[in-house]
Amino acid sequence: MRKIITIGREFGAGGGEIGRKVAKELGIEYYDKDIILRTAVASHNLDPEQVRKWDEKVPSSFGFAQSLFNFYNRPLDEELWQAQKDAIREMANRESCVIVGRNGDYILSEFDHCLRVFVHAGFDWRVRRMMGMLNASEEQVIADAKSADKARKRYCEYYTGKTYGDSRNYDLTLNTEKIGVDRAVQLVLAAAENL
């Protein structure tokens, strides 16, 4: 039976790193934003430039964003959301994998063999962690963290109707500030054993 692990995450909490390590340990595929977007673009013949513009963004309420229609008379943001849903479902139907981000937990909610994980940590810890990984000022990392968290929250709530980071939407939530990335990997692996 396939094992599907979705990982939602706050910016800088280590969700991507955890996902890569879990996939490697299990010997299964790892899919992140870039892979999912490439698949969505290719399968729906979307314009990559427009996709970059609308990636994880919510349209303005009945404004200009709502008037950008594609050939099928669907707003581009809706077309991108549908393309990503299709890509994620196709990946999960095809093979065991780890899917990071893109509201995978919601998109695959009907899959019984899916472990839904959310990775979070305190804001200051995430900023310090990202400063150690990026060549950027503290001010820039803080701005990026706030922007990414806000965009993910709005994106989740707009497309799923769920509250971003709400533990009731997940099977397992992990605070990497308290337990660390390596321990988080071990906990995900243990939880995935029974899928």
- Give the per-residue pLDDT at 38: 76
Query: Which helix (DSSP H) or strand (DSSP E) does residue 182 occupy?
Result: helix 181-192
Closest by alpha carbon to 13, among 100, 99, 117, 121?
Answer: 121
pLDDT tens digits, one per residue of 102-157: 999 999 999 989 999 999 999 999 999 999 898 889 999 999 999 999 989 998 99
26-68 pLDDT per residue, tens: 999 999 887 877 777 777 777 676 666 656 555 544 333 433 3
| pLDDT given at position 61 | 42
| Per-residue pLDDT tens over the stretch 150-171 | 989 998 998 899 999 999 999 9
Helix axes 181-192, 15-26, angle to 10 degrees: 50
- Between the CA of residue 1 and those of 23, 27, 192, what are the distances in Å? 16, 14, 12
Q: What 3-state class would DSSP assign to 117?
A: strand
Please give the class, per CATH, of domain 4-189: alpha beta
pLDDT score recorded for residue 140: 94
* Residue 145: alpha-carbon gap to chain centroid: 15
Kindly report the pTM of this predicted structure.
0.86
Distance CA 41, CA 51 (A): 8
- The predicted model gives 69-79 an average pLDDT of 54
Distance CA 75, CA 24 (A): 38
